[in-house]
Amino acid sequence: MTVPGDGTRCVRAGLPDAEPHLDPDTGPVPGRDGYGRSDNPTWRALESAIGELEGGECVVFSSGMAAICAVLLTVLRPGETLMLPADGYYRTRAFAAETLAGLGVRVREVPTAGPYPPFDGVRLVLLESPANPGLDVCDLRALASAARAAGALVAVDSTTATPLGQQPLALGADLVVASGTKALTGHSDLLLGYVAGRSVGTVRQWRNSTGAVPGPFEAWLAHRSLSTLDLRLARQSATAAAVADLLAARPEVASVRWPGRPDDPAFAVASRQMRRIPGVVTFTLPDAAHVARFLRAARLVDAATSFGGPHTTADRRAQWGDPVPEGLVRLSCGLEDTADVLADLTAALDQAAR
Ligand X SMILES: Cc1ncc(COP(=O)(O)O)c(C=O)c1O
Which positions touch ligand X (CB under 6 A)? 63-65, 89, 128, 132, 157, 159-160, 179, 181, 191, 193
Q: Which is nearer to ligand X, 157 or 174 (CB)?
A: 157
Q: Which amino acid is at 266?
A: A
CA pair distance 120, 235, nearest whole angstrom: 42
Distance of closest approach, residue 162 Cβ to ligand X, in angstroms: 11
Task: Evaluate whether 312 touches 334 at the Cβ level (below 8 Å).
Answer: yes
Nearer to ligand X, 232 or 290 (CB): 232
If the CB atoms of residues 65 and 71 are measured against ligand X, the closer one turns out to be: 65
In the complex with ligand X, which residue's Cβ is closer, 159 or 162?
Answer: 159
- Smallest gap from Cβ 70 to ligand X, in A, equals 12
Residue with the shortest CB distance to ligand X: 64
- Residue (171 or 246) nearer to ligand X, CB: 171
Q: Which is nearer to ligand X, 283 or 307 (CB)?
A: 307
Q: Where are the beta strands (DSSP E) in the chain?
A: 22-23, 27-28, 57-61, 81-85, 106-110, 124-128, 153-157, 175-179, 193-197, 254-257, 280-284, 302-303, 313-316, 328-332
Contact 333, 279 (CB under 8 A): yes
Query: Could you tell me the CA-to-CA distances from 25 to 19, 20, 22, 32 in Å, in that order?
Result: 13, 11, 8, 14
DSSP secondary structure of 86-146: TTS-HHHHHHIIIIIGGGT-EEEEE-TT-PPPP-TT-SEEEEESS-TTT-----HHHHHHH
How far is 157 from 205, CA to CA, in rounded Å? 21
At closest approach, how far in Å is the CB of 65 from ligand X?
A: 4
> Between residues 123 and 330, which has the closer beta carbon with respect to ligand X?
330
**Half-sphere exposure of 225 toward its Cβ, with a 13 Å CA cutoff?**
24
In three-state secondary structure terms, 194 is strand
Q: How far apart are CA 89 and CA 91, in angstroms?
A: 6
Q: In the β-sheet with 313-316, what is the strand arrangement from edge to edge? A: 254-257, 280-284, 328-332, 313-316, 302-303
Looking at beta carbons only, is 63 or 239 nearer to ligand X?
63
